[in-house]
Structure 1
Amino acid sequence: MKKDHKPAGPSQRMLRVGELVRHALAALFARDDIEDEALAGAVVTVPEVRMTPDLKIANAYVMPLGGAHAEEIVAALNRHQKFIRGRVAPLIDLKYAPEIRFFVDDTFAEAGRIDALLRSDRVKRDLDDEDTGED
């Protein structure tokens, strides 16, 4: 009996469409077309966009430069979802424009946390013990 299994990660199509949406969002944010006090003067980066398998939803992970007021900026972007979708649709060559949902990108914070752990005295001590051959 043959088992059906799904691939572990996103398909090439999901990745390609995610990149299209990411570039379109970055271009839109660079033009500063969205009128909202929370977004005034904010420089927003879009490190990643993850598409659902049916390509109907784009989960956009964003971070304002410096990380300040990230939650407020994401809330503002989510308030303007329809406007943003309307601006992104002509920039991507798809039959249907995906619904775009915005989330705070926490990968930088997570990387900082891991870096801090690796620099901690406890880890340094453990690494020094390995170097000297002690247990």
Structure 2
Amino acid sequence: MSSNSKNRSGTPRSQRQLRVGEEIRHAMSEILNRTSFNDPHLEGVIITISEVRISPDLKNATAFVVPLGGADLEAVTKSLNKANGFFRRELSHMLRLRSCPRIGFEPDTSFDEAAKINTLLQSDSVQQDLRHDDDDEWIESRAGDDEADS
């Protein structure tokens, strides 16, 4: 689950929202594992649901998806959104909720963003800023301390 535990309005998500979102994520993963779709964009594609965010009134849910194996993220997301009625019907049988939320699918780009940040942190200009002659002694002494702790 993402470390962002706030709604778009900036208010923290309730424990109930987090719990229901996680239940939906598990149920949807099970549905994806046992269902074969007649859609060429979903056929043979392994889909990871990284997070499900649910609205405060529990009526709308957004599932963030990542297809594995180089599948087209936009095409997979579009196909899943076409099948959202199927998912809602299946979820209504699996979950104990007063009403099943409407499901929307969005691509999860957090992994791409993390890779970009990692690339930036490894760039020469950032590494140069991190290294200073005065700091080299401190870094070397800390490295020795870390080895001693192991």
Normalised TM-score (structure 1): 0.88
Superposed counterparts of 1:1-135, under 5 Å? 8-129=11-132, 131-132=135-136
Question: What's the CA shift string for 1:37-90, capped at 9, x where partnerless?
Answer: 110000000010000000000100000013430110000000111011101111
Q: Which moved more, 1:63-72 or 1:23-32?
A: 63-72
Q: Whole-Å Cα distance in 2 between the matches of residues 66 and 41 of structure 1? A: 10
Q: Which moved more, 1:121-130 or 1:9-18?
A: 121-130
Identical aligned residues as a percent: 41
Relative contact order: is structure 1 or structure 2 higher (C-alpha 8 Å, sep ≥ 6)? 1
Q: Whole-Å Cα distance in 2 between the matches of residues 67 and 18 of structure 1? A: 26
Which structure would you say has the larger Rg? 2
Q: Which moved more, 1:96-105 or 1:30-39?
A: 30-39
- TM-superposed deviation, 1:8: 3.0
**Contact 2:27–2:91 under 8 Å retained in 1:** yes
Distance 1:111 1:66, change over 3 A: farther
Distance 1:70 1:131, change over 3 A: same
- Measured on the aligned residues, the alpha-carbon RMSD in Å equals 1.8
**Contact 2:36–2:43 under 8 Å retained in 1:** no
Show structure 1 runs of 5+ residues with no match. Answer: 1-5
**Contact 2:62–2:105 under 8 Å retained in 1:** yes
Moved over 4 A (4+): none
Amino acid at match of 1:21: I
- How many equivalent pairs are there? 128
Distance 1:56 1:32, change over 3 A: same
SS in 1 for 2:131: helix
- TM-superposed deviation, 1:132: 4.7
